[in-house]
Amino acid sequence: MQTDFLKDIDIWSPEILALLVGSGFLIGIINTLAGSGTAIGYAVFMALGLPPAWANGTVRIGVMPQTLAASLNFYKHKLLNIKSALFIAIPITLGSIAGAEIAVNIDQEIFKKVIGVAMIIILFFIFFKPEKWIKSKETKTKVKHNLLHSVLYFIIGTYGGFIHVGVGIFLLIALVAVSGYDLVKANSLKVFVVFIYTPFALAIFMLHGEVHYAVGLISAVGNTLGGIFASKFAIKHGAEPLRWFLVVVIIVFTVYLFS
């Protein structure tokens, strides 16, 4: 399998290091404040020359340290129910494995179009701010788990394994609107469940040799720093400026994918 997609690029040059760490930093901030910042990772990695499947696998490296740090913080403040998270994580993880298998075997030109469609869907949620109607469900107190919910989480996991961007939004909606968790607990569950399933999906891309470890690890440094920065300092400034930055990135990226 070809592994020299970036043979003409020195990823250790100051310019590329700055690009990877800087974009990773933005991803961490946007994911913390608004969500779907991973779209920037897809755009940057593919612009550097990684094929869609490689970008899809590589972007997951940065997800793990960010979600781990957030999960530890939720657990420290007694907002994370490990038992509930593990129950939900089982169907999602199984789905993520199936989704990742589909992603590594699909035709790459088709996959580009699929990513483009996903970007358009994410734009809808960015513009219409789903957190407003998610919050309207906060009065729910009865948490429900049944077979149909497990099927739903399997489908969400399949999407997350196939393409990571936007999975947090869909998972949060399901946890609040379907299972009945309040928003704070749902967010903690969302982060921890993503942390659990990501290594399994990443393993599929690793087994198929579709992960660029150096690029992923460099970006992960910025991703983690961005998440820490956002959670401690930037949240008071709001997510609106970052939301519009993300909109521009997604629109340009989507045009590129369909061109």
Span 134-153, pLDDT tens digits: 554 545 446 666 788 899 99
Amino acid at 191: V
User: Given CA atoms 158, 160, 166, 171 in this order, what sign does their dihedral have?
Assistant: positive
Please state the rounded mean pLDDT for residues 150-160. Answer: 93
pTM of the model: 0.81
Cα dihedral sign for 257, 165, 99, 151? negative
Q: What are phi and psi of 80, to 5 degrees?
A: -115, 120
For 24-53, write each residue's pLDDT tens digit.
Answer: 998 888 776 656 788 889 889 988 989 888
pLDDT tens for residues 55-94? 999 999 998 998 888 788 778 878 788 888 888 999 999 9
pLDDT at 112 over 80: no
Residues 6+ apart with CB under 8 A from 53: 103, 104, 106, 108, 111, 205, 208, 210
With beta carbons less than 8 A apart as the criterion, state whether 198 and 67 touch: yes
Where do the structural domains in the chain lie, given as residue ranges?
A: 14-258
How high is the pLDDT of residue 170? 82
Q: Position of tokens 């939004």?
A: 169
The answer to whether 6 touches 215, Cβ cutoff 8 Å, is yes
pLDDT score of 148? 86
The tens digit of pLDDT for each residue in 205-230 reads 999 999 999 999 999 999 888 877 77
Confidence of residue 99 (pLDDT cuts 50, 70, 90): very high
Mean pLDDT of all residues in 230-245 = 58
Mean pLDDT lowest for which of 62-66, 123-127, 138-142, 166-170? 138-142
Tell me what pLDDT residue 118 has. 80
The confidence score (pLDDT) of residue 143 equals 66
Task: Enter the tokens of residue 163.
Answer: 């393409």
